[in-house]
Amino acid sequence: MVRRIADRTVRDYYAAQFKAELERAFDGGAAVAGAGRGQARQAPGRADARLAARHGLHGGEALRRQRLLIACLLNHPELIHHVFEEVAELRLSSAPLDKIRLAILEQASSGAPLDLDGLKTNLINSGIVPLIEELTGPGTAKLDPLARPDAPLAQVRQDWTSVFRLHRLNDLHHDLTAAQESLGREMTDENMARFTLAQQAFERAKAEAADTGQS
């Protein structure tokens, strides 16, 4: 069992070991350069890079990914019933987009197709109706072709899943970096368990993203 390590030399040694392990998980270490400064960077592998290039989505474009994911749901009412669980676990840093996500989930819980007009009515007092109109308007195609209402649902579902997995991979990278930093500061059973779970979740997500990127 891991216990609190009082000796600084020993603690620093184990912190370095765990950092090296984290770097190996991130394809050679480029992903965590600067992590000690609190700058959580991306860790895309080759397949992840292909996913990003496929949709013009790169490291610093988390908001664009989020807008694309929600735009697809709004423009393809049937999509939510294919990706309900993924939408439920989707993390969005944008509060307005997250309100739309929650409203979509609530409406979809009835089993009926997404009703865009009903969604707008439910959110009329939230101040985000203009955002919905923006994401469903003529400019949607500029965000990504898969957000267009006339895009085939099967292709939209496949590409939406690709973007979701890429987005989730970045979230889990941040979780893993935070867990590694906590473990480096304080070697406890709790922090070790947190690090192990975060690492396992990241590796699973990385494998899923790689499978998608090769399809």
175 within a domain of the structure (yes/no): yes
Whether the Cβ atoms of residue 174 and residue 11 lie closer than 8 Å to each other: no
Q: 27 lies in a domain? A: no
Residue 87, pLDDT score: 96
Residue 28 within a domain: no
| Sign, Cα dihedral of 180, 212, 45, 167 | negative
CATH number at residue 89: 1.10.860
d(CA 133, CA 50): 30
Mean pLDDT of the chain: 74
pLDDT of residue 14: 46
Show contacts of 198-203: CB within 8 Å, 24+ apart. 198/172, 199/21, 199/22, 199/25, 201/172, 201/175, 201/176, 202/25, 202/169, 202/172, 202/173, 202/175, 202/176, 203/25
pLDDT at position 24: 53
CB 172, CB 198: distance < 8 Å: yes
At 101, list the tokens. Answer: 């996500």
- Residue 7 CB-density burial (10 A; 0-12 exposed, 13-18 middle, 19+ buried): exposed
Q: Is the pTM of this model over 0.85?
A: no
**149 three-class SS:** coil
What is the domain count for the chain? Answer: 1
CB 197 within 8 A of CB 176: no
pLDDT on residue 71:
94
Within-domain flag for 4: no
pLDDT in tens, 76-130: 999 999 999 999 999 999 999 999 999 999 989 877 778 888 888 888 878 899 9
Residue 30 lies in a domain: no
In angstroms, the CA 173 to CA 10 distance is 26
Which pLDDT belongs to residue 139?
Answer: 80
Counting as low any pLDDT under 50, the low residues of the chain are 1-11, 13-14, 18, 22, 25-49, 51-59, 214-215
Domain interval for residue 61: 47-213
CB-side neighbour CA atoms (13 Å) of 193: 5
In a domain, 25, yes or no: no
128 part of a folded domain:
yes
- 19 located within any domain: no
Looking at residue 102, its pLDDT comes to 94
Tell me what pLDDT residue 212 has. Answer: 57
Please give the pLDDT value at position 47.
44
